[in-house]
Structure 1
Amino acid sequence: MTDTSAFTFRPGAGPSLEPVQVRPPDRGQVRVEIRATGVCHSDLHIVNGDWPTERPLVLGHEASGVVQETGPDVTDLAPGDHVVLSWFAPCRKCVNCAAGRGWLCTGTTALDHTLPDGSTPFSDGNGQDLWPYLGLGTFTSEVVVPETAAVKVGKDVPFTVGALLGCSVTTGVGAVLNTADVPAGSSAVVIGCGGVGLSVIMGLKLAGAYPIIAADLSEAKRTKAEELGATLTVDPRTTDLASYVSEELGGVDFAFEAIGNEKVIETLPGLLAPGGAAVLVGMTRIGARSSIDPFDLADQGKRILGCNYGSSVAHVDIPRLSRLYLAGQLPLEELIDTVRPLGDAQQALDELAAGSGLRSILIPGGR
């Protein structure tokens, strides 16, 4: 057993930093030393109650690190390998996995917050189980995960950048290249310019979309959106986005919502040109409902596309995105505005809730 500390969430008590123990890897599992972990809105959804849980959790699901130990039957990884952790570990056995749609895996246990065998590698100071959020639980210094959740990347990929590949970048770029399959020359709107929304913008630039319109309440985020490829930015408080795209473009080919706000989602069909597609990238609270005009969708041939994890197969898309980063095509370091020790996790979550800043990276042990 390894003694360390972790940032946890306990129902009824909230988040805190507490001592934990991590057991060795079992069959098909690896132990990974976490070098960097991102703070994502999905972590905030747990803390603020949008996604209720009955289990005490080790938070965190977006991380990179170094393999320290492998369990029996691990064939593709070895100690010393640099890896990005993928929160949606596929079973590789179900119909969707067999069809190459790992993001729709029906056999994963990630959403149950367990390892594939139903167990947890974590226990608290009293020997009671703590459960890995989304099967990972990366707000700590060491984790035990299934081999299918650890994706090997080159050692020249910085750990801070690798952490973002575990969720936000793969989701945002994948929404463009996989879910929507945006053709070059398509027009697009992106609503919400946090880490995922900015990744969508980078994906649109890669795809050759034009124009790329970005909308956000934050001037700093709009400025960053322009730096990363947006051709125009809009403050929704002073510009009616639907009127603008209708008058200037006759609607857009693609509208991406990267906030997870049900009221904003309702506005997407009104932004689209005939035949256009709205892409739901942001995750709403559980039970949220949005109203749409079905006649407009049918009459104008508009579509609404759900996007889970950028419709990505982690072991294909994460190495590809890392190569694009190394080639200078994805300036992912531009998404990071704060690097801080794990003990500052609460501050990072508070800033995320306030909508300030871009992506915060936590470093276990303060490296």
Structure 2
Amino acid sequence: MQKDHSGQIISCKAAVAWEFDKPLVIEEVEVAPPQEKEVRIKIVATGVCQSDLYFLLKCMNKALFPSVFGHEAAGIVESIGPGVTEFQPGDKVIPLFMPQCRECHLCKSPKTNLCVNGSAGHFDGKNFESSRITCKGKKLLQFLGVSSFSEYTVVKELALAKIDPAAPLDKVCVIGCAICTGYGAAVNSAKVEPGSTCAVFGLGAVGLAAVMGCRAAGAKRIIAIDINPEKFEKAKIFGATDVVNPNDHSKPIHQVMVEMTNGGVDYSIECIGNVEIMRRALESCIPGWGVSVIAGWTNMQDISTQPIQLMTGRKWTGTLFGGFKGKDGVSQMVKAYLDKKVMVDELITHNMTLDQINEAITLMKHGQCIRTVLSVSTQ
């Protein structure tokens, strides 16, 4: 029987990022009890996402450290704070980096999945005071309000989705970021139509989920693009009809796409976070009605294109979390997985433990995995 820690500080293991571009350190941390409208959860499994690596290894924002990264996870409610009505201890849950309060003007609008309480895209390091995780007397930043590289964490009630008790947590954790981001980029943001032609740039977990979304939306031709041909067979499993390695061509990839499709694709989705590829994805679209969606994250360079690319009718847009409203979208996608309408298991190429997190980071850094899931705690 699990010991009741409600109202008490829990000491547990977490992978702490003390400094930019340094290996994570497994430390003993203290996780405070949940406060008003907060929930403390035991993290059972967490995916290692490119966004974690981006902020740990690339973006050079030192205001984020020391931090506990991790935001794609699943767990079990351990205790609830005052005023919490939606959750009870024992509930299976997925934490959300895109909260849904259901009360603000953004949540009430069908036009967006943003919430005024969300911080996605804003990383100024001002959230240390609200963190419930400390180590050696220092507060650790809770990355995106989640911090799933810890055995326990505390999140806001509005940033947590209750899921079906039958869901396997070591699988559905990937729905908390990659699946919703890629799949939703196709079905919600691009609004892919039956019979259309699509191009997906980048075949990591988000890109493969985007391929799956294009297929679910009824696209007749789905061109999967990556410089790593080892990903092509996996792309075909998710629905790709064509695979293209830009390194096999002497022409720029957008010209290759235009020639392959007699003028350009109806929809393109960029899933890498590379501003040059974002431009190529846009210019791969057909004039008149082509839509290009940016799903890959970066904030280090500006995007650019010639105005005529947009003046001739192409649309350039972006997506966070695939346009899914947090609580609603995650519950919906977990149900779709249990109903065998969405593939998740096929994305997971490696299973490791929290102690092996630096190995998992190395795998992703070198493109040797699609998604590694870490076992953090036993259920």
TM-score (norm 2): 0.91
Q: Secondary structure at the match of 1:252?
A: coil
Q: Secondary structure at the match of 2:131?
A: coil
Q: Is 1:280 the equivalent of 2:288?
A: no
Q: Which residue of 2 aligns with 1:218?
A: 228
Task: Give yes or no for contact 1:93–1:107 (8 Å, CA) kept in 2.
Answer: no
Q: Is 1:3 the equivalent of 2:3?
A: no
Pick closer, same or farther for the CA change 1:50–1:242 going to 2, 3 Å: same
- In structure 2, how many angstroms separate the alpha carbons of the residues matched to 1:203 and 1:246? 22
- In structure 1, how many angstroms separate the alpha carbons of the residues matched to 2:137 and 2:110? 40
Of 328, 343, 348, which residue of structure 1 is paired with 2:355?
A: 343
Q: Which residue of 1 aligns with 2:329?
A: 317
Gaps of 5+ in 2: 1-8
Q: Is 1:143 the equivalent of 2:153?
A: yes
Of 354, 357, 361, which residue of structure 1 is paired with 2:369?
A: 357
Q: CA deviation at 1:312?
A: 1.2
Q: Which residue of 1 aligns with 2:6?
A: none
Q: What percentage of residue pairs aligned between the two structures are identical?
A: 32
Map 1:1-367 → 2, pairs under 5 A: 1-11=9-19, 14=22, 15-50=24-59, 52-54=61-63, 55-100=65-110, 103-109=113-119, 111=122, 118-124=129-135, 126-239=136-249, 240=251, 241-249=253-261, 250-274=263-287, 275-284=289-298, 286-298=299-311, 300-365=312-377
Q: CA deviation at 1:101?
A: 5.4
Task: Give yes or no for contact 1:86–1:314 (8 Å, CA) kept in 2.
Answer: yes
- In structure 2, how many angstroms separate the alpha carbons of the residues matched to 1:344 and 1:116? 28
Pick closer, same or farther for the CA change 1:89–1:53 going to 2, 3 Å: farther
Q: CA deviation at 1:366?
A: 7.2
TM-score (norm 1): 0.94
Task: Give yes or no for contact 1:213–1:233 (8 Å, CA) kept in 2.
Answer: yes
Per-residue deviation, residues 147-196 of structure 1 (Å, max 9, x unmatched): 11111111221112221111111111111111111111111000100000
What amino acid maps onto 1:37 in structure 2? T
Pick closer, same or farther for the CA change 1:104–1:205 going to 2, 3 Å: same
Pick closer, same or farther for the CA change 1:365–1:84 going to 2, 3 Å: closer
Q: Secondary structure at the match of 2:246?
A: coil
Task: Give yes or no for contact 1:90–1:102 (8 Å, CA) kept in 2.
Answer: no
Q: Secondary structure at the match of 1:87?
A: coil
Per-residue deviation, residues 107-158 of structure 1 (Å, max 9, x unmatched): 324645889995111010x221112111010001111111111111112211
What amino acid maps onto 2:363 in structure 1? E
Gaps of 5+ in 1: none
Q: Secondary structure at the match of 1:10?
A: coil
- With 275-284 and 47-56 compared, the bigger mean Cα shift is at 47-56
Q: CA deviation at 1:359?
A: 0.2
What amino acid maps onto 1:305 in structure 2? T
Q: CA deviation at 1:324?
A: 1.4
Per-residue deviation, residues 214-254 of structure 1 (Å, max 9, x unmatched): 01122221110001100111111103533333223221001
Pick closer, same or farther for the CA change 1:11–1:102 going to 2, 3 Å: farther
What amino acid maps onto 1:224 in structure 2? K
Pick closer, same or farther for the CA change 1:136–1:128 going to 2, 3 Å: same
Aligned residues between the structures = 364
